[in-house]
Structure 1
Amino acid sequence: MERLIIQSANILFPDSKFYKQSADVLIEDGIIKAIEAPGKLTVSKGTKLIAGENQFLAPGFFDLNANFGEPGFETKEDFITGCATAAAGGFTGVVLQPNTNPPLHSRSEIAFIVNSAKDAPVDIYPLGTITKNREGKELAELYDMKLAGAVAFSDGDRSLQHAGLMSRALLYSQGFDGLIFSYSEDKSIAGKTKMNEGEMSTYLGMKGNPNMAEELMISRDLFLVEYNDSPIHFSTISTAGAVEQIRKAKKKGLKVTCDVAAHHLLLTDDELISFDSNLKVRPPLRSKADRDALIKGLKDGTIDAIVSQHTPHEVEYKKVEFEIAEFGIASLQTVLPMLLKAKLSLELIIEKLAINSRKVLNIEPIQLKVGEQANLILINPNELWIFDSKSNRSKANNNPLFNSELKGKVSLLIHKNKTLIL
């Protein structure tokens, strides 16, 4: 029997009576047995003691947007390395995008993910595609995938261009409490652009992707949501206009949620002066004004959740000219230090990364209560560490923070009766 006590940790479970206070937590075989003021728990022989002073005990993070390669792209990331990376970043639950080969577009692919990940140290939730092969032409078998374990539906990094098809998807999924995730980009506006349209794109002589490409598609989908009285979730919004549209839609009473990628809260298109291909993402890094609007939207509740948008790539797809490099950052392990560097409070980070992210999918909240299975992390916001080949748990290193010193780290993760000292 494993018995451990986390001593004098600052509690950041909002529903706990010890919220923002220090407490000792006793865990036996993965079950929370006692929560008391510091020094009140009996330390018996064989009890493992974890020093929690100046650290924060919080629910395990939950990511609504991550890419693992399996099936088909295991050289980018497989379940083993993906889960190890997620755990190192403090994530105890991850929603997988359907950007695989084959895509997660039928019952069999969803069942493969569910069965392959059932013993993983991290909870894995697959997204089924909206359309067959993510081609945007014909609806996939949404209900069959829901029965097999799909938690929602998305065409991943492909925006559904056909308005009628999106309308039918919203209406059909409503019949069985399905949820559509929309990645919003009007391809006729965005074209084959590689970065944001703005002063920096003009300076660099590169054709830019305007805010309008995202905002037009969000506007269309909001009309469809109102018409069908259906829920929708917007993935990785990136512009000030998108925030304002969603803010107005929520005030209007529409069933709308949304998330933002961590890197859009810290980095801007000004960084691209270096032509670092690790900064090439979709949607692109936007302007400082957009970044400020995203942070404001987080704080006022317009934006529900923060995601990693973890997108690992083999070295040959990133260490090339910016123009031909693939999009994406392998970011699961660096979300926390990135958000701390963006000067977000721990309370806000936990709300958007552990609590609201589960609410989007109606997943039971994680509670710090006697008798509950432990699903928690211990955060040291001041720990300095080097993110390099030794500490990286992913197969990929396409991350602009690679080989740099970061501040903020998850030092302990307990989930599924597994204790990981990180």
Structure 2
Amino acid sequence: MSTILISSAKLVLPNHALHGEVIDVLIKDGTINRVGKKLEIADKDVHIIDGSGHIISAGFFDLHTNFGEPGLETKEDIVTGTKAAAFGGYTGVAVFPNTNPPLHSRSEIALVINTANGNVVDVYPVGSISKKREGKELAEMFDMKSVGAIAFSDGNHSVQQAGLMSRALLYAKGIDALIVSFAEDESIAGGNQMNEGEVSTFLGMKGKPNLAESLMVSRDLSLAEYHDATIHFTCISTKESVELIRKAKTKGVKVTCDVAAHNLVYSDEAVLGFDSNFKVNPPLRTNKDVKALLKGLKDGTIDAVVSQHTPHEVEYKNVEFQIAKDGIIGLQTTLPLLIKAGLQAEDIVNKLVVGPRQIVKQEMPLLAEGSKANLVLFSLGDKWIFDASSNKSKSTNSPLFGQELTGKVKAIVNNGQLVENR
């Protein structure tokens, strides 16, 4: 990449002087050279990208992504995962420690960082709270942070011992680190398959009650308040969780939270067809929960939206619903889902660009002259089909596979590299 001109795109980036204006952006050797209206370019070798009818902003950042590397590369490796992220508009992703071995020591953190080095998408590993994600003994958080861990979580294993979570919050406070809680009381959830409610009763399937999540949210909020520590909840899914976090914020508790994009669109009624691609954890909840999540997004209770990208081989999904693995791939479909949920351009930027970076204290790309180019160009109205030719992930476990979607990423620029979705 040498010289690129993105022309006639609407800038959406809060606090930018040209927010809401239609602008041109000239990029030379990975650095923003000029930003303005109707730029005149003398360079004949410039690569022009027509941004008419598109939104330009800083690149998306995903706080909850699952790749398989190390150990589960048949699901997704860093190369294919970052390719899917790039085509989904992401220039940065936080990868969770749901690997084998888990990201629970400095060697695994260093492996991820070194493998992803030089990629168009920046990859930030999230280290385990506990050794082997077993929830028994604290992992070496300081060592992991020193080599690049961006936060700490036991991934899709919720920390069941209150004492361990208490010590983790206190230790993280001492090293200025962030604890990410996946809230599920396993003794209440019972390893069940879907949301507990009318649909689960109709289908004759055991369900996970909202209480399994809200109990753990309540516990961890109490611990964070007690230690005056910072906590982040990932993938909240219930009305009760939204209300608990909203009240905690008004009290001054240092809490943030995110929601998975699919939980903003689908309810447990989607499970009526027994499509295992709708099997996720936390499960799809009721329409009342969906409405509460959307309200939480709009009033600022929910700070970010995540893809919760969770790839699986076909043999783990093309089976009966009861034995299928949890999770869907989501890096390329988060933008269309947010559009389907009714979010406007500024809402999308706030929840995919601004909020995530604020939570993990990452520098906000400026889109200003002289700054490193880190941006996304996307459309709210362009349609495309999510199928084998457009999917960049190794896996295909998505209920959206084969469907026409609205909302498309046209290009990203980061680390001196350009990825275009033609």
In 1, are the aligned partners of 2:119 and 2:415 still within 8 Å (CA)? no
Map 1:2-401 → 2, pairs under 5 A: 2-38=2-38, 40-401=39-400
Q: Which amino acid aligns with 1:148?
A: V
- Shift of residue 287 of structure 1? 0.5
Deviations 1:139-182 (A, max 9, x none): 11111111111111000000001001110111111111011100
CA distance in 2, matches of 1:86, 1:388: 16
Moved more, 10-19 or 78-87: 10-19
Deviations 1:288-338 (A, max 9, x none): 010000010011000011000000000000000000000000111111011
CA distance in 2, matches of 1:342, 1:41: 39
CA distance in 2, matches of 1:138, 1:42: 60
Moved more, 68-77 or 2-11: 2-11
In 2, are the aligned partners of 1:24 and 1:41 still within 8 Å (CA)? no
| TM-score where L is the length of structure 2 | 0.99
SS in 1 for 2:312: coil
Q: Count matched residues.
A: 421
CA distance in 1, matches of 2:170, 2:299: 30
Q: Which amino acid aligns with 1:369?
A: A
CA distance in 1, matches of 2:256, 2:413: 29
Moved more, 312-321 or 346-355: 346-355
SS in 2 for 1:23: strand
Q: Which amino acid aligns with 1:406?
A: L
SS in 2 for 1:10: strand
Q: Which amino acid aligns with 1:245?
A: L
In 1, are the aligned partners of 2:61 and 2:357 still within 8 Å (CA)? yes
CA distance in 2, matches of 1:205, 1:127: 37
SS in 2 for 1:139: coil
- Shift of residue 43 of structure 1? 4.1
CA distance in 1, matches of 2:221, 2:93: 27
What runs of 5+ residues in structure 1 fail to find an aligned partner?
none
CA distance in 2, matches of 1:377, 1:158: 33
In 1, are the aligned partners of 2:230 and 2:254 still within 8 Å (CA)? yes
CA distance in 2, matches of 1:142, 1:314: 31
CA distance in 2, matches of 1:368, 1:120: 20
CA distance in 1, matches of 2:102, 2:418: 33
Deviations 1:53-100 (A, max 9, x none): 111101110000000000000000001100100000000000000011
SS in 2 for 1:218: helix
- Shift of residue 42 of structure 1? 2.6
Runs of 4+ in 1 over 2 A off after TM superposition: 40-44
- Shift of residue 367 of structure 1? 1.0
SS in 1 for 2:215: helix
- Shift of residue 273 of structure 1? 0.5
- Shift of residue 41 of structure 1? 2.2
CA distance in 2, matches of 1:224, 1:91: 33
SS in 2 for 1:333: coil
Deviations 1:92-147 (A, max 9, x none): 00000001110011111111111111122210000110011000111111111111
SS in 2 for 1:246: helix
Moved more, 248-257 or 28-37: 28-37
CA distance in 1, matches of 2:145, 2:3: 38
CA distance in 2, matches of 1:394, 1:11: 29
SS in 1 for 2:8: strand
In 2, are the aligned partners of 1:200 and 1:269 still within 8 Å (CA)? yes
In 2, are the aligned partners of 1:15 and 1:367 still within 8 Å (CA)? no
What runs of 5+ residues in structure 2 fail to find an aligned partner?
none
CA distance in 2, matches of 1:322, 1:98: 25
- Shift of residue 36 of structure 1? 1.5
SS in 1 for 2:308: coil
SS in 1 for 2:73: coil
Deviations 1:388-411 (A, max 9, x none): 000000000000000111111000
Deviations 1:252-309 (A, max 9, x none): 0010010000000001001110100000000000000100000100110000110000
Q: Which amino acid aligns with 2:28?
A: E
| RMSD of Structure 2 on Structure 1 (CA) | 0.9
SS in 1 for 2:142: helix
CA distance in 2, matches of 1:133, 1:278: 28
In 2, are the aligned partners of 1:103 and 1:134 still within 8 Å (CA)? yes
In 1, are the aligned partners of 2:365 and 2:372 still within 8 Å (CA)? no
